[in-house]
Amino acid sequence: MTQWLVNGMPDGSLSPQDRGLTYGDGLFETIALRAGKFRLLDFHLERLQVGCERLGIPPPATELLRAELKQVAVNCTSGTGKIIITRGCGPRGYRAPAQAQATRLVGLFPDSAGSLPSWRDGIRVRWCRTPVAENPALAGLKTLNRLEQVLARSEWEDEAITEGLMSTPQGQVIGGTMSNLFMVDDGQLLTPDLSRCGISGVMRRLILKVAAELAINAFEQSIDAERLLAADEVFLSNSLQGIAPVIQLDDQPLPIGPVSRKLMQALSQRGVSECAAA
Ligand X SMILES: Cc1ncc(COP(=O)(O)O)c(C=O)c1O
Residues making contact with ligand X (CB under 6 A) = 30, 149, 175, 178-180, 199, 201-204, 237-239
Q: Could you tell me where the DSSP H helices lie in 1-146?
A: 19-23, 41-55, 62-72
**Shortest reach from residue 142's CB to ligand X, in Å:** 7
- Choice between 7 and 145, CB closer to ligand X: 145
**Shortest reach from residue 201's CB to ligand X, in Å:** 3
Task: Output phi, psi for 41, to 5 deg.
Answer: -60, -40
- Choice between 60 and 81, CB closer to ligand X: 81
- Choice between 39 and 88, CB closer to ligand X: 39
Beta carbons of 278 and 218 less than 8 angstroms apart: no
**Shortest reach from residue 149's CB to ligand X, in Å:** 5
- Choice between 2 and 101, CB closer to ligand X: 2
Q: Please tell me the distance from the alpha carbon of residue 48 to that of residue 87, in angstroms, as a whole number.
A: 13
Distance between start and end Cα atoms, the chain: 29
**Shortest reach from residue 50's CB to ligand X, in Å:** 13
Residues in the chain: 278
- Choice between 100 and 108, CB closer to ligand X: 108
Q: Please tell me the distance from the alpha carbon of residue 168 to that of residue 138, in angstroms, as a whole number.
A: 15
Q: Strand 79-86 to strand 103-110: parallel, antiparallel, or no bridges (unpaired)?
A: antiparallel
Task: Output phi, psi for 166, to 5 deg.
Answer: -120, 145
**Shortest reach from residue 176's CB to ligand X, in Å:** 7
**Shortest reach from residue 77's CB to ligand X, in Å:** 20
- Choice between 8 and 53, CB closer to ligand X: 53
Q: Please tell me the distance from the alpha carbon of residue 30 to that of residue 176, in angstroms, as a whole number.
A: 16
Q: Could you tell me where the DSSP H helices lie in 193-249?
A: 202-213, 225-229
Beta carbons of 124 and 159 less than 8 angstroms apart: no
Beta carbons of 278 and 120 less than 8 angstroms apart: yes
- Choice between 149 and 260, CB closer to ligand X: 149
**Shortest reach from residue 196's CB to ligand X, in Å:** 14
- Choice between 17 and 118, CB closer to ligand X: 118
Q: Which residue is nearest to ligand X (CB)?
A: 201
CA distances from 72 to 36, 65, 245 (A): 12, 11, 32
Q: Please tell me the distance from the alpha carbon of residue 229 to that of residue 36, in angstroms, as a whole number.
A: 40
**Shortest reach from residue 39's CB to ligand X, in Å:** 10
